[in-house]
Amino acid sequence: MLKPVKRTKAGKAGGDFAIVASHYNARYVDSMLLAAQVELKRAGAKVQVVRVPGAYEIPVVAAKLTTIHPRPAAIICLGVILRGETTHAAHIGEAVSRALMEIQVTSGVPVIHEVLLLENELQAKERCLDPKHNRGLESAQTALKMARVMNGLESKPF
């Protein structure tokens, strides 16, 4: 069952945040992007948005962002992949997931994976266009939380 995204107190967040968003399936991605931007700005964060052609291109930009000074406190990756008649969507989804995991583990920068592999447009509408379930909002909340966790680890050594 699809759970609604709960509005939380954003709190103040220092630092820079990056969003890498696909142009493909723009109707859905744009809605997630707007929700993420609003949430990050509500927390007082600086936001840089980079648009790429499709989901497959997201990891290379996310990886590059981890090398730029100052590094972002977190990188949010937004995309929508809709299954079709072939296995192409599954291959893209798996490749993107593996790459994003590797980027965050090797760089130490939280990479929030909101590249959705969905069965159909109904699922996309629910998760991207419905304000109660918008995964862009959820991704921004996760990015803010992870930035705080990482900052806490750096400022409080064992």
Using alpha carbons, select from 111, 56, 98 the residue that is nearest to residue 79: 56
**72: amino acid identity, one letter:** P
Q: Angle, nearest 10°, between helix axes 88-107 and 58-65?
A: 10
Q: How far apart are the first and last CA of the chain?
A: 40
Active site amino acids: 88
Q: Provide the token pair at 48.
A: 């840089």
H-run or E-run covering 112: strand 111-118
Query: Distance between CA 92 and CA 79 in Å, rounded?
Result: 11
